[in-house]
Every structure is written in C-alpha cells, then in structure tokens.
C-alpha cells in the first residue's frame, strides 16, 4: 500500500480508508493508496508549520543548498526505483521517463539550489535631512507552509518543479499528488529521510479534489501559499480557496496550443517537431500541440507526412523499446478523449488517421488505449478546435496570410505555448511577439532552459515559474531601512 508521508513517517489514513490504483496499460490493480482524511491533512499542515521554526528554519542558505544537492543525488542513486514507479503509474514508455521525467525530477533540486544561491539582493543608499543618510536592503524570507497540488502527466517532474524552489527558499510543503500517480511523491519521502531533511519539511497526502485531500489542503487556514498545476476549471476553484485569507496562488493550467508552419520552413524539421509536440506522452503534455496551421502551398504535403509519422508510432507496453506511444492515464480519461473523437466526426471532420480505439492484443484490451488521430476540415469554432482534449490528436487547418494565422492562433481562451516553423528570421520574431502565449518556440518545441520564465497567458495560468521567477513566488521580500 502507498501511504501518506507526514512528519517524516509513512502512515495509513487515520480512518483506514484506501483507494485503488490501476495500471493504464491493462487495468490490473497495481496497489492501494491510503486516502488521507481531514485529520491527516491537518496533521500534515501542523507538521509543516512546526518544521518552519525547527532545525530547518535555522539552516543557512548554504546548508539548504547542500541538502538539496543531496536530494538530487539520492534520486539519481535510486533512479531505477523512481523509473519503475513512474512508468507503473502512468504507463508511459520507459524511454521517455528515463530521458525526461526522472532526470528532470532530480535536476529541479539543483537548479533552484543554484538560483537561491546566486540571486542578488537590492541595496539603496538614501539621503536624509540630517545629512547622515540611511541604507535600504532587501532580504528574502520563506512564505511559510506551501500547498503543492499536482497533475498526473509528468508526476515527479512537475511536483519537484514546485517542491525544489519551495524548499530552496526555506519553506515547508504539503504535497497532494494526483490520485492517478501517487507513487513517486511517496518515494521522495524516503529520499528526504535518507539525506536528513528534517521531519515535517516535506509531507505528502493522497486523495482526490473536492471533499477530499485537495480541498482540505487548499482551504486550510495554516497554508500560507498554494501552487497548482492542472486543469483551468480546478485552478479557478483553487483560486477561490486562496482568496480566503488573501493567500498567494500560482496557477499552471491547461492549453490549446498552436503550431504554425510557414511554407518556407525546413519541412522535415517541422514534421519531426510537430509530430513530437502532438503525440509524445500520448498527447498528455500541457505544452503539446492540438492545433496546427499550415500555409496553403504545403498543406497537402504536410498532412500526408504527418499522417505517415502518426501511423508509424507503435502503440505498446512501456518496456518495449519499439513503443512510440503508451496508453492514456486512465479509463476515465480514455472515455473523455474518445468522446472528443466522436464529436469531431459529428461536427464534420475529415479523419486523416485514427479516430477511435485501437485493436489491442488480448492481455492489453482492458488498458486505456486510443489511436493517434489527425483531423482536417473543422471550423475554428468547433468544440474540438476550441477545447483542450489532452490526448494524442490534432486538427490541421490551412492559412494564406501571416495576419490570418495570428488571428486564428490567438482565437482561444488559452495562452500557454505556441511553436512556429519558418526560415525567415524577421517573421519568426514578428509572429512570436504577436502570439498570445507565455512560451513561444521558433523552429523547436519543448526546448527548456530551467532558468527561463515558464507559465501561461489568458486562462492558461497566473504567475511564472522557473529560475528567479519561482523564487519570487516562494519568498516574501522584506526591506530593511537602517538610519546611519
Ligand atoms: P486536474 O485539475 O484534474 O487535477 C490536478 C490536481 O488537482 C489533482 O491532484 C487533483 O486531485 C486536484 N484537484 C482536483 N480538484 C480539486 C479541488 N477542488 N481542490 C483542490 N485540488 C483539486 O488536472 P489533471 O487532469 O491532473 O491534469 C491535466 C491538466 O493539467 C491539463 O489541463 C493540463 O493542460 C494541465 N497541465 C498544465 C501544466 C502547465 O504547466 N500549465 C502542466 C501539466 C498539466
């Protein structure tokens, strides 16, 4: 059983409740998870609050940095355990988790340890009427107990992207992993204990959202700040919870990201990049592409090339080296994705490839499999072009002018990311500036320097994470004015 991790110890739920975790690959029962009661959430928040003023609160920045490097090294040492846990929970190919999820999970601790060590402080000399003057300087103080609410698509990576900077800044955390992916957050408790992170600094409570651990944690009055990654509708609920007590909130939410392919692009690179952005991680990437706009002269050629690429992706089990694409996270999510597949057809889409559930071998038939799917021919206002599906699918539409494609790309409630493919440098800069998105890639996708600002415009987010931007959220700046 996967247990809650409270005050440095693993514990079953106070009322003994558990819930199931099933494999996305074949729906077999993987394990049961302790479902935190309200008393467990309260105990986790109490432990986190007490730890703020204990040994952890007395550590110097250098000592914290040293410990976070040790956390990263211990994740590396237990790499195979983390890999197995992440792959079991998500069903994603081992090749992806080995290259992206687990290394980034470790790197997030080092990146923010470096950031806090190197962040400059403000200093101002000021004149005073007596001629002696005064000096002002700022110091960074932790915000306090941070609630960390996470999704299931990159569980360890996205959780440590918040826990890393929160701890680097001297806060304590209570993590609520997704109910779909509890295992790596639980395992991280062992790492914290192994390297001597004091009790109560890192806590994990398992459960769901409403009337469960998610709600109890985010409405808890002793939580000082809330950081969330997940769906926009959930983010809105969390923002309301944060309003009580006027607590800071950081929201990384959904997207309906566009890729724009100009006729002057490097065609093979554009195909390779958009194929990846639409289908990697079975399309369950917040930054992924679900809308592709292609300049008319190369439209037909592009559709055919992307179709071939999608059809070459082999659906398979995580351990198979040939697997290009795994199942989606759960039966529930599969049903949601397939409902969009039906809606696309009802709305008159041309199904270029896929469009339904694949025929799998007998032992995988109960898994959450869906076909990689490409559509053309839908109106820009149709549900499938407007709503985030979060599956292995995309719609491709032609365009004629730069102005037209900017308008189409921006015609969405979301604003997380966009990518554009062109060899015209001036156009690359011009279109990047015009797109309403927090992150724009030119001739690439998913290329990330962890010091850069990460986050969404419009309904995709509030605030920015990454490098010094995370430090702004996880610290309170205090000005000290000293009269000389
Ligand atoms: P979700 O919103 O359903 O759940 C996210 C987390 O919130 C889970 O831990 C869930 O239990 C919890 N939760 C749900 N209701 C809650 C409530 N009322 N109060 C408190 N907690 C609650 O999202 P998901 O399905 O896990 O993840 C997929 C979504 O995440 C997609 O929309 C995707 O675009 C988004 N996402 C965004 C980013 C980003 O950086 N912008 C990154 C990854 C995923």
Mean pLDDT by 10-residue block, N- to C-terminus, for the chain (484 residues)?
A: 98 97 98 98 98 97 98 98 98 97 98 96 97 97 98 98 98 98 98 98 98 98 98 98 98 98 98 98 98 98 98 97 97 98 98 98 97 98 98 98 98 98 98 98 97 98 97 97 98
Of 180, 252, 295, 388, which is the active-site residue?
Answer: 252
Residue 454 alpha carbon, nearest atom of ligand 1: 40
The residue behind tokens 């309260």 is 42
Task: Return the pLDDT at 351.
Answer: 98
Distance 302 CA to ligand 1 centre (A): 33
pLDDT of residue 115: 97
Which residues fall within 8 angstroms of residue 211, CB to CB, at 6 or more apart? none
Structure token pair of residue 190 = 């062992």
Partners of 6 in the beta sheet? 9
Cα–ligand 1 centroid distance for 229 (angstroms): 5
Q: What is the pLDDT of residue 273?
A: 98
So what's the pLDDT on residue 109?
98
Q: How many CB atoms lie within 10 A of CB 99?
A: 11
Predicted confidence at residue 442, as pLDDT, reads 98
Which residues touch 239 (CB under 8 Å, ≥6 apart)? 249, 251, 462
Contact 56, 167 (CB under 8 A): no
What is the torsional sign of CA 112, 160, 200, 72?
A: negative
Among protein residues, the one whose CA lies closest to atom 26 of ligand 1:
151
Report d(CA 77, CA 70) in Å as an integer: 10
Nearest CA to ligand 1 atom 37: 253
pLDDT at site 225? 98
Is 237 a pocket residue for ligand 1 (Cβ < 6 Å)? yes
Strands across the sheet with 417-421, in order?
350-353, 373-376, 393-399, 289-295, 257-261, 417-421, 439-442
For the Cβ of 255 lying below 6 angstroms from any atom of ligand 1, the answer is yes
> Nearest residue CA, atom 40 of ligand 1?
252
Pick the catalytic residue from 169, 265, 286, 394. 286
The yes-or-no answer on residue 252 being catalytic is yes
- In the reported structure, the alpha carbon of residue 362 is separated from the centroid of ligand 1 by a whole-number distance in angstroms of 32
Ligand 1 atom closest to the CA of 151, numbered from 1? 26
Q: ∠ CA(149), CA(367), CA(94), 5° rounding?
A: 65
Q: State whether the beta carbon of 150 lies less than 6 angstroms from ligand 1.
A: yes
| Cβ of residue 97 lying under 6 Å from some atom of ligand 1 | no
Residue showing tokens 């309904």: 459
Token readout for 263 is 């006729």
393 catalytic? Reply is no
Residue bearing the CA closest to ligand 1, atom 13: 209
For the Cβ of 292 lying below 6 angstroms from any atom of ligand 1, the answer is no
Q: Does the CB atom of residue 176 touch ligand 1 within 6 A?
A: yes
Check if 156 has its Cβ closer than 6 Å to any atom of ligand 1. Answer: no
Reported pTM: 0.97
To the nearest 10 degrees (0 to 180), the angle between helices 61-77 and 79-90 is 70
Nearest to 446 by CA among 476, 484, 419: 419
**Residue 244 C-alpha to ligand 1 middle, in angstroms?**
21
- 338 forms beta bridges with none
Cα-to-centroid distance, 215 and ligand 1 (Å): 13
Report the nearest-CA residue for atom 43 of ligand 1: 286
> How many angstroms separate the Cα of 405 from the Cα of each of 116, 178, 295, 378?
41, 36, 9, 15
Long-range contacts of 216-220 (CB under 8 A, 24+ apart): 216/36, 216/38, 216/41, 216/42, 217/41, 217/44, 217/45, 217/147, 217/149, 217/174, 217/176, 218/147, 218/149, 218/242, 219/244, 220/41, 220/42, 220/45, 220/147
CA of 60 to the centre of ligand 1 (A): 34
Instruction: Using the Cα atoms of residue 302, residue 305, residue 311 and residue 312 in order, give the sign of their dihedral.
Output: negative
Residue nearest to atom 30 of ligand 1 (CA): 230
Q: Is the CB of 230 under 6 A from ligand 1?
A: yes
Q: Is the dihedral of CA 217, 222, 227, 232 positive or negative?
A: positive
Q: Is the CB of 209 under 6 A from ligand 1?
A: yes
The 10 Å CB-count burial string (b at 16+, else e) for 323-337 is: bbbbbbbbeebbeeb
Distance separating alpha carbons of residues 318 and 327, to the nearest angstrom: 9
Q: Which of 230, 238, 283, 287 to mutate to test the pocket of ligand 1 (most atoms within 8 A of CB)?
A: 230
Nearest CA to ligand 1 atom 34: 254
């Amino acid at each position: 059983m996967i247990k809650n991790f409270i005050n440095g110890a693993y514990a079953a739920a106070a009322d003994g409740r558990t819930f199931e975790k099933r494999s996305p690959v074949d729906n077999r029962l993987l394990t049961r998870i302790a479902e935190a009661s309200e008393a467990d959430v309260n105990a986790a928040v109490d432990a986190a609050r007490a730890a703020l003023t204990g040994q952890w609160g007395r550590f110097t920045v250098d000592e914290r940095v040293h410990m976070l490097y040790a956390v990263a090294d211990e994740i590396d040492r237990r790499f195979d355990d983390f890999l197995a846990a992440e792959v079991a929970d998500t069903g994603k190919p081992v090749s992806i988790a080995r290259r992206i999820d687990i290394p980034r999970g470790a790197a997030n601790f080092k990146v923010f340890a470096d950031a806090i060590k190197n962040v400059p402080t403000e200093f101002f000399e000021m004149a005073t009427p007596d001629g002696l003057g005064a000096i002002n300087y700022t110091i960074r103080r932790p915000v306090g107990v941070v609630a960390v609410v996470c999704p299931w698509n990159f569980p360890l990576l996205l959780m440590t992207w918040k826990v890393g900077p929160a701890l680097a800044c001297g806060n304590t955390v209570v993590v609520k992993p997704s109910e779909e992916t509890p295992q790596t957050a639980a395992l991280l408790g062992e790492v914290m204990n192994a390297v001597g992170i004091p009790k109560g600094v890192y806590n994990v409570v398992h459960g769901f959202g409403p009337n469960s651990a998610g709600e109890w944690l985010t409405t808890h009055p002793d939580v000082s700040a809330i950081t969330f990654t997940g769906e926009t509708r959930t983010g809105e609920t969390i923002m309301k919870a944060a309003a009580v007590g006027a607590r800071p909130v950081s929201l990384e939410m959904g997207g309906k990201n566009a890729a724009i392919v100009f006729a002057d692009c490097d065609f093979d690179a554009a195909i390779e990049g958009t194929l990846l952005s639409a289908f990697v991680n079975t399309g369950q990437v917040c930054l992924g592409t679900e809308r592709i706009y292609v300049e008319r002269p190369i439209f037909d050629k592009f559709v055919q090339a992307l179709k071939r690429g999608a059809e070459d992706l082999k659906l398979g089990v995580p351990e198979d080296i040939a697997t290009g694409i795994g199942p989606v996270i759960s039966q529930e999510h599969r049903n949601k994705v397939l409902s969009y597949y039906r809606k696309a057809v009802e709305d008159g889409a041309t199904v270029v490839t896929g469009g339904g559930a694949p025929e799998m071998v007998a032992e995988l038939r109960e898994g959450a499999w869906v076909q990689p799917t490409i559509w053309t021919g839908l109106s820009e206002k149709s549900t499938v072009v407007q709503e985030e599906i979060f599956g292995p699918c995309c719609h491709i539409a032609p365009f004629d002018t730069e102005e037209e494609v900017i308008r189409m790309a921006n015609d969405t409630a979301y604003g997380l990311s966009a990518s554009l493919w062109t060899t015209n440098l001036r156009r690359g800069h011009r279109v990047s500036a015009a797109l309403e998105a927090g992150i724009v890639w030119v001739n690439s996708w998913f290329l990330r320097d962890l010091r850069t600002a990460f986050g969404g415009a419009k309904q995709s987010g509030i605030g920015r994470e990454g490098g010094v931007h995370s430090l702004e959220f996880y610290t309170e700046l205090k000005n000290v004015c000293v009269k000389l």
